[in-house]
């Protein structure tokens, strides 16, 4: 009887998997501790753990994760060649091709430097300065900073490159999420002894904005992704459930 019961359960499980819709989610491959691609191509990070748990709770779906450079991910979603991307901020005017069904985590944009600064307003107090940002990132008041205050927004591939440029004096400031900047600085101090001293002076000058990270979902290619509406509704329900039951908070604590 036990063998028969096990056989029925296993068979049901296999049928369930066979009927599940695979969903490919792209993620920023260099945005630790939120998302990054580790050695061997393994997806890691806070959002990665959240999305894996969420899909595990969504019986009709299975997950495939693919790491890409951030700008490339945006291009693929805009072209309707990718279903979802982790983890954009809410920018419906800049990215009308993407839906933002539910906020997952709180983040922020902050301006960092290697020495104290009295600036308290962005962009007014930083006129004429050279500010590093990561390629494809949407900085608050970007046009105002550039056109009205002559701020040079200098794009680089990732946090590491921008931190090295900051140490070398090639940029005056660096803008990104505080947790991500501090994580990258810590990794650099461990891997490059020449940067330990300079990066010890790294400090947050100004919190420019508070943000929330989302799973951005393509909204221009329903023919390619006929499951979009069902997936979105189910995903919203599951993420809200994970907030209520403390799952997301527990995942975040693993990275502190």
Residue spans per domain, the chain = 18-102+215-253, 107-211
Cβ distance 141 to 130 under 8 Å? no
Quick one: pLDDT at residue 18?
Answer: 57
So what's the pLDDT on residue 16? Answer: 45
Q: In 39-172, at which residue ranges do the beta strands (DSSP E only) sit?
A: 43-44, 61-68, 84-86, 98-99, 103-113, 130-134, 152-156
| CATH topology classification for 107-211 | D-Maltodextrin-Binding Protein; domain 2 (3.40.190)
* pLDDT of 256: 81
pLDDT of residue 76: 98
Band of the pLDDT at 137, cuts 50, 70, 90? very high
Helix 228-244, helix 46-56: angle, nearest 10: 110
- C-alpha distance across the termini of the chain, in Å: 48
Fold of 18-102+215-253: D-Maltodextrin-Binding Protein; domain 2 (3.40.190)
What are the tokens at 175?
């803008």
pLDDT band for position 10 (cuts 50, 70, 90): very low
Average pLDDT on 233-247 reads: 99
Closest CA to 68 of 53, 46, 50, 83: 83
d(CA 156, CA 130): 12
pLDDT at 221: 84
**Stretch 32-47: mean pLDDT, rounded?**
97
Confidence bin at 19 (pLDDT 50/70/90): confident
Contacts of 166 (CB under 8 A, 6+ apart): 112, 113, 114, 132, 173, 174, 202
Is the pLDDT confidence value at 2 over 50?
no
pLDDT over threshold 80, residue 5 = no
Q: Is residue 183 predicted with pLDDT exceeding 60?
A: yes
Q: Which two tokens stand for residue 132?
A: 């590093």
Lowest mean pLDDT among 3-12, 15-24, 125-134: 3-12
Mapped to the 3 state alphabet, what secondary structure does 21-53 carry? EEEEEEEECEECCCEEECHHHCEECHHHHHHHH
> Residue 9: pLDDT above 90?
no
Q: What tokens does 98 get?
A: 């993407």
Task: Supply the pLDDT for residue 192.
Answer: 97
pLDDT band, residue 51 (cuts 50/70/90): very high
Task: Indicate if the pLDDT at residue 198 is higher than 90.
Answer: yes
Residue 28 pLDDT class (50, 70, 90 cuts): very high
| Residue 231 pLDDT class (50, 70, 90 cuts) | very high
How far is CA 6 from each of CA 14, 17, 59, 192, rounded to the nearest angstrom? Answer: 12, 17, 20, 54
Phi-psi bin for 34: left (phi > 0), alpha (psi -120 to 50), beta? alpha
pLDDT at residue 1 is higher than 50: no
Q: Tens of pLDDT along 58-114? A: 999 999 999 999 999 999 999 999 999 999 999 999 999 999 999 999 999 999 999
Q: What distance in Å separates the CA atoms of residue 217 and residue 41, rounded to the nearest whole number? A: 23
Question: Same CATH topology for 18-102+215-253 and 107-211?
Answer: yes
Provide the mean pLDDT of the chain: 93
């Amino acid at each position: 009887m036990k063998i028969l019961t096990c056989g029925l359960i296993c068979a049901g499980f296999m049928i369930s998997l066979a009927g599940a819709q695979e969903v490919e989610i792209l993620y920023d491959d260099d945005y630790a501790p939120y998302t990054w691609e580790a050695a061997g191509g393994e997806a890691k990070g806070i959002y990665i753990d959240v999305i894996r748990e969420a899909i595990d709770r969504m019986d009709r779906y299975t997950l495939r994760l693919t790491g890409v450079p951030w700008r490339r991910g945006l291009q693929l979603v805009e072209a309707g060649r990718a279903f979802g991307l982790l983890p954009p901020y809410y920018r419906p005017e800049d990215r009308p091709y993407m839906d933002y069904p539910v906020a997952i985590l709180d983040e922020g944009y902050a301006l960092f430097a290697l020495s104290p600064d009295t600036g308290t307003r962005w962009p007014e107090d930083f006129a004429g300065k050279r500010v590093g940002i990561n390629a494809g990132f949407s900085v608050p008041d970007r046009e105002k900073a550039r056109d009205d205050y002559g701020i040079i927004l200098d794009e680089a591939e990732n946090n590491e490159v921008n931190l090295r440029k900051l140490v070398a004096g090639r940029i005056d400031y660096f803008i990104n999420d505080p947790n991500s900047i501090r994580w990258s600085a810590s990794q650099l101090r461990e891997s490059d002894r020449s940067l330990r001293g300079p990066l010890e002076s790294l400090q947050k000058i100004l919190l420019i904005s508070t943000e929330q990270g989302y799973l951005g979902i393509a909204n221009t290619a329903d023919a390619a992704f006929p499951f979009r509406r069902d997936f979105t509704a189910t995903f919203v329900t599951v993420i809200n459930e994970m907030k209520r039951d403390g799952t997301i908070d527990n995942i975040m604590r693993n990275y502190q």
